């Protein structure tokens, strides 16, 4: 079967529609008319034999087949872009769009306050940040780099350890007279993490109960600050709450447990400069 160059151009239009959310805005980015975008998408759907978008007057969204197709082709387009940069000698330049999937705690509590520093350091870098603690298909949709706390996941991805953070137990000063825990659900098992206290080589497991279970540690942090209960938190990024007195640390002598943060990216002959630049930046914090 001969390659139809219109397939590649149609995929480019599809990516523009996904990023913009409408045919009209996509038309501006690919320099077509809205009707031209509509025809390109219709032609692509005929070529792949599936409907890729749900169309409404206000927006267009991917169908299930469209999501699967998008997840497959996005990394391929990124590879083409990378190859073009390499030929042009631009590999050393930190520029372009960095699609980052980060653990919610790291994204909201650690990274977000430092984003102005990152973008000032690299003016030609554009960051597309998605917060998620799930590991299934974490590189889908053309993600360049994924950051997850916990032991490294097996697989074909390149894995790099970024940092370790202590686990500390904290509470609002108004809460310390009561006894209830805020529970954080392990995204891998679906069950709340067990509570442990580490001091040197000593490890003590404690059975705790609580009425709030969440899979977002920053939500648990807000509930803890409001006085809902005790929370075992990453020490990373927690300094503003402890220094201001909004939270106080409980059992500081039993806070030797460490939890790692790993970065995942696709195995390539050369790691793109934008990925290396972000990894260096993340490791500074």
Per residue in 215-235, pLDDT tens? 888 899 999 999 999 999 999
Other C-beta atoms closer than 10 Å to the C-beta of 226 total: 12
| Least confidently predicted of 145-149, 152-156, 232-236 | 152-156
Q: What is the DSSP string of 165-211?
A: EEEEEEE-GGGTTS--BEEEB-TTTSSBPPEEEEETTEEEEE----S
pLDDT of residue 4 exceeding 70, the answer is no
- Residue 262's H or E segment, with its range, is strand 258-265
Asked if residue 1 has pLDDT above 50, the reply is: no
Say if CB 224 and CB 182 are below 8 A apart: yes
Res. 3: pLDDT tops 60: no
Cα separation, 8 vs 203, whole angstroms: 56
Output the pTM of the full model: 0.70
Tell me the C-alpha distance between 28 and 34, whole Å: 8
Residue 127's pLDDT band, with cuts at 50, 70 and 90, is very high
pLDDT computed for residue 104 by the predictor: 92
Judged against a pLDDT cut of 50, whether residue 138 lies above it is answered with yes
What is the structure's pLDDT at 52?
92
Q: Cβ(14)–Cβ(41) under 8 Å?
A: yes
Q: Bridge-partner residues for 205, per DSSP?
A: 196
What's the pLDDT score for residue 133? 85
CB 8, CB 44: distance < 8 Å: no
């Amino acid at each position: 079967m001969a390659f139809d160059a219109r397939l590649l151009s149609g995929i480019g239009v599809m990516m523009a529609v996904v990023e913009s959310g409408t045919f009209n805005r996509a038309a501006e980015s690919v320099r077509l008319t809205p009707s031209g975008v509509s025809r390109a998408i219709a032609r692509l759907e005929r070529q792949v034999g599936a409907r890729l978008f749900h169309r409404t007057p206000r927006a267009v969204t991917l169908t299930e087949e469209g999501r699967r197709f998008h997840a497959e082709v996005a990394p391929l387009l990124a590879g083409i872009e990378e190859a073009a940069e390499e030929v042009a000698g631009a590999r050393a330049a930190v520029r372009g769009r960095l699609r980052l999937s980060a653990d919610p705690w790291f994204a909201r509590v650690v990274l977000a306050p430092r984003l102005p520093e990152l973008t000032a350091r690299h003016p030609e870098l554009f960051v597309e940040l998605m917060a998620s603690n799930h590991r299934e298909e974490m590189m889908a949709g053309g993600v360049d780099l994924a950051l997850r706390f916990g032991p490294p996941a097996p697989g074909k991805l390149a894995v790099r350890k970024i940092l370790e953070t202590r686990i500390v137990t904290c509470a609002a000063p108004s809460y310390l007279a009561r006894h209830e825990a805020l529970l954080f659900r392990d995204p891998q098992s679906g069950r709340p993490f067990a509570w442990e206290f580490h001091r040197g080589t000593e490890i003590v497991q404690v059975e705790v109960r609580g009425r709030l279970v969440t899979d977002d540690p920053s939500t648990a942090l807000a509930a803890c600050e409001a006085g809902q209960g005790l929370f075992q938190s990453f020490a990373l990024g927690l300094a503003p709450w402890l220094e201001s007195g909004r939270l106080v640390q409980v059992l500081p002598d039993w806070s030797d447990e460490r939890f790692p943060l790993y970065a995942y990216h696709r195995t390539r002959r050369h790691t793109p400069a934008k990925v290396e630049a972000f990894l260096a930046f993340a490791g500074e914090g």
